[in-house]
Structure 1
Amino acid sequence: MRVSTPDPESNGGWLSGEDLDYVRRRVPILYVEAIPVRLAPSGELEHIGLLLQANEDGVMTRAFVSGRVNYGESLRDTLNRHLEKDLGPMALPQLPACLTPVTVAEYSPIPGARLVDERQHAVSLVYVVPVSGECDPCENALEVSWLTPGEALDPDLLEELEGGRARILKTVIGQLSAWP
């Protein structure tokens, strides 16, 4: 029996703002986060892509490609949707055959947690995704900044990552054996 993914245009798989707020207060929400990278021909990490955007207070911040997994949506489809939404249709992401995350992040609405999301309790599967095309940021992103691992570890830049995401970035750089 083949199960079809709900059509977002018919509101299948989407929640109204009110329903989403209700669920966020009661149930952990599943997210994906993707860190786009540029690789050398040898496969070594050359650059890490971080989104530059303004938060709700108008402060410039850095972010990963991220978003919720919709009901009935595969992880592959979720990653592709968010990568296209944030990087544009010509980014040409290269998702691996096996979608094992590089790490799993758990965000808490409770102040003082290592990773914080004031809206909800969220669990995020974090992926490193090589991209080979041109990135033209869409949605809320103003630009994609391509940084060497050393530049990405600059303390001032790490402070621009909200909710403790600097920890995730450091973990990813360590997982990729790319410490400068």
Structure 2
Amino acid sequence: MTDTADASPRSVACRSCGNRLAPTTRRCPACGLRDPATPPAPPPASERAPARSGGGVWRVVAAAVIGALAGAAITTLVFIARPPRTVLVPVATPVAAPPAPAAPAPPPVPAAQPEASRSRGRTDWLFFFKSGDRLVRMSDDAPAGLVLRTEKAHAFADGTAGPAYLVQLPDGGQRFIDADELERGTRLE
């Protein structure tokens, strides 16, 4: 059911949906657009995009080529204008005999004395370890023993008194160890 009038060269397409219409049609039956045959009005000059001058891409390419050539020319001039590199040859100097030692070396300093215990002579020491704690040495993680009990005031062999831990050693013996000394050198297992 094709109408020959619709397919004639005098028919126009709707601007919105493309439906073929007679040029005198006031409304498109498919989409309802008014005046479907009239072309849209051009936008005002303020909304139009500014006209671009032709050759914008070529200007960018030409600027890049000129910049590359200028960089190459400057680099060439720098290498040509710099002074030649001189090669330094090391000169062998005669080695003098080492001087005789003027004075004998000072005697070696004896090993530093261990730091004095901070716990000796104190009665208000707060014990870090408690009974039943297994201890290892901080230096090599070797077993240091098991804490059996703590004493607030223990008389040591050197005549001083202070807080101490009674520790069962790994070899089976028991020994009182100064609280500060044990806390500095061991940690919990």
Asked which structure has the greater CA Rg, the reply is 2
Structure in which a larger fraction of residues adopt strand: 1
State TM-score, norm by structure 1.
Answer: 0.18
Greater RCO between the two (CA within 8 Å, min separation 6)? Answer: 1
Instruction: Give 1 or 2: higher helix fraction.
Output: 1
